[in-house]
Structure 1
Amino acid sequence: MIVRTLQECEQSERRVVAETWESTRMILKEDQMGFSFHITTIYKGTDTHIHYKNHLESVYCMSGEGEIEVVGGKRYPIKPGTLYVLDKHDEHYLRAHKKGDMVMACVFNPPLTGAETHDKDGVYPLVD
């Protein structure tokens, strides 16, 4: 059994901070669950380009508001209770409104190893 608290993970190398977001990776590839689980904060007033060419992701908004814009497609509002699934490696922009941060629960398949950050194209590398 694995038991961890968000607070413990936030005070470890499992917390990764970038310019527009931070992600606390509570379950990683090393845990051998077949997925990774993260609590990610998108900083207020930011715009993040993301394109997970190597991963599928499900995201559930727990707090805050913003939007996701699919490149070449639609915009969808995000608020608490919204789930979106990047089931087609959708290239997108994730924006948090200026009122406050968005806090999201995220699941990745295949699982992340822990230290990944977006490259210049918004991609996480696939690590064996």
Structure 2
Amino acid sequence: MIIKQLNEIIGTQDDVDTLTWNSRRLLLKKDGMGFSLHDTIIKAGTETMIWYKHHVEAVYCIEGTGEIEFLKENTTYKIYPGTMYALNGNEKHLLRADKKSDMRMICVFNPPCTGREIHDEDGAYTVNHLD
């Protein structure tokens, strides 16, 4: 059994903070679950280009509002608490948080992340982090 508390993750190496997002990695590849679980903050007023070429991801919004724009389809969807989206086709997208508040998202990745991943110039996690 694995039990972790968010307050035990914050400020550790499993708390990855960037200019546009902050990912607190609760479960990682080393935990042996076959997926990783992240509590992620999308910072208010930011936009992040993301293209997970090597992962599928499911995301559930629990706080804040924003939108996701799928670039190939040129479609935009509002995100608010209770919204789930799944990136099951390696979709390139822009993720935006409204200016007034952060968005808090629960994210699941497959294959599982190792822990220190950040987006490369394409918006993807690099292949060498999959080992």
Alignment TM class, shorter chain as reference:
over 0.9
Q: Which residue of 1 aligns with 2:58?
A: 58
Identity fraction in percent: 52
How many angstroms does 1:11 deviate by? 2.8
Alignment deviations for residues 105-124 of structure 1 (CA, whole Å, 9 cap, x no partner): 00000000000000011000
How many angstroms does 1:19 deviate by? 1.0
**Uncovered stretches (5+) of structure 2, i.e. residues with no partner:** none
CA distance in 1, matches of 2:25, 2:15: 6
Q: Residue type matched to 1:17 in 2?
A: D
Q: Which residue of 2 aligns with 1:120?
A: 121
Q: Residue type matched to 2:41 in 1?
A: T
Q: Which residue of 2 aligns with 1:12?
A: 12
**Uncovered stretches (5+) of structure 1, i.e. residues with no partner:** none
Q: Which residue of 2 aligns with 1:100?
A: 101
CA distance in 1, matches of 2:125, 2:107: 14
Residue 7 of structure 2 aligns to a residue whose secondary structure is helix
CA distance in 1, matches of 2:72, 2:11: 39
Q: Which residue of 1 aligns with 2:70?
A: 70
Alignment deviations for residues 35-75 of structure 1 (CA, whole Å, 9 cap, x no partner): 00000000000000000000000000000000000013210
Q: Which residue of 1 aligns with 2:91?
A: 90
Residue 30 of structure 2 aligns to a residue whose secondary structure is helix
